[in-house]
């Protein structure tokens, strides 16, 4: 039988509980979602770190949140950085799997691909508050029929979003602009085939551009780059670029 949205919510009920616990610690939806997506991606085979989170004491949840955030932050570093993750490692060890911090540093493309796949797919439903309200109402008998949103067929294909939602606005320091190929290559080397194209400000007379736009293949990459921040800085070679979510200019009616 075809899987329905309701089935996905049941399948990831532990992830939802973990999200609610992490959200209470972070106070930031984006960071909590990214952390859960990371733990879901780790939750393969005998590893089951995420199943411990719902029953943890608040202090321990805060440590998991901090460690997950450290992993996500290190994904942005130019040089491989080793996140400190003693508690997440210990939770993984309960499934007889030893996770080295260096794994996250040297397999960034694998981590990003796995986390982004969840954020763009099942995560869209797991983190949807309205769907969970409907689910609770249907379970408690407050609704005579199942809501169509819960009975809709589920597809594992990423939900398509417009380019604007998958874009980041980038700015350079004066005289320190990068070539579009350098930006493209930076993300390709670190995170794999995730960029569609890079657009740069058009300048006359050989002047260097001051800003540009990166269009990624999925919206999740934008969320992972920012990880809850409004503005982030990354170093490419000896130069720095600033990235924020792209907001299109309003068009005059």
pLDDT at 59: 94
Residue owning tokens 């657009």: 199
Q: What is the mean pLDDT of the chain?
A: 89
Residue 225 in this model has a pLDDT that exceeds 80:
yes
Section 37-50 average pLDDT: 82
Residue 183 in this model has a pLDDT that exceeds 60:
yes
pLDDT at 181: 94
Long-range CB contacts (< 8 A, 24+ apart) of 19-28?
A: 19/126, 19/127, 21/53, 21/54, 21/56, 21/61, 22/53, 22/61, 22/64, 22/65, 22/68, 24/58, 24/61, 25/58, 25/61, 25/62, 25/65, 26/65, 26/228, 28/228
pLDDT at 253: 44
**147 by DSSP, 3-state: which?**
coil
Cβ-Cβ contacts under 8 Å for 169 (sequence gap 6 or more): 211, 212, 213, 243, 244, 245, 246, 247
Section 119-144 average pLDDT: 90
Please tell me the pTM assigned to this model.
0.89
d(CA 165, CA 158) in angstroms, rounded, equals: 14
Section 145-170 average pLDDT: 89
pLDDT at 6: 94
What 8-state DSSP symbol labels residue 163? G
pLDDT at 119: 94
pLDDT at 48: 76
pLDDT at 96: 67
For the chain, list the domains and their CATH numbers. Answer: 5-150 (no CATH), 163-245 (3.30.70.330)
Query: pLDDT band at 103, cuts 50/70/90?
Result: confident
Task: Between 186 and 45, name the one with better pLDDT.
Answer: 186
pLDDT at 215: 97
Residue 186 in this model has a pLDDT that exceeds 60:
yes
């Amino acid at each position: 039988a075809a899987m329905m949205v309701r089935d996905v919510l049941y399948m990831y009920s532990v992830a939802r509980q973990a999200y609610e616990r992490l959200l209470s610690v972070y106070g930031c939806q984006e960071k909590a979602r990214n952390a859960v997506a990371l733990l879901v991606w780790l939750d393969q085979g005998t590893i089951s770190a995420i199943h411990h989170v719902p029953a943890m004491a608040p202090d321990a949840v805060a440590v998991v949140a901090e460690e997950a955030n450290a992993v996500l932050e290190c994904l942005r570093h130019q040089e491989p950085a080793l996140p400190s993750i003693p508690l997440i490692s210990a939770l993984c060890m309960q499934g007889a799997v030893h996770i080295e911090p260096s794994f996250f540093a040297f397999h960034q493309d694998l981590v990003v691909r796995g986390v982004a796949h969840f954020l763009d797919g099942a995560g869209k439903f797991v983190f949807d508050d309205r769907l969970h309200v409907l689910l609770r109402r249907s379970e408690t008998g407050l609704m005579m029929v199942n809501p169509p949103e819960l009975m809709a067929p589920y597809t594992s294909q990423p939900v398509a979003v417009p380019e604007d939602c998958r874009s980041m606005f980038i700015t350079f320091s004066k005289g320190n602009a990068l070539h579009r190929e350098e930006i493209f290559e930076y993300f390709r080397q670190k995170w794999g085939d995730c960029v569609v194209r890079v657009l740069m400000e058009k300048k006359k007379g050989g002047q260097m551009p001051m800003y540009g736009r990166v269009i990624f293949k999925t919206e999740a990459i934008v969320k992972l780059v920012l990880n809850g921040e409004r503005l982030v800085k990354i170093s490419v070679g000896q130069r720095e670029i600033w990235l924020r979510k792209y907001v299109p200019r309003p068009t005059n009616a």
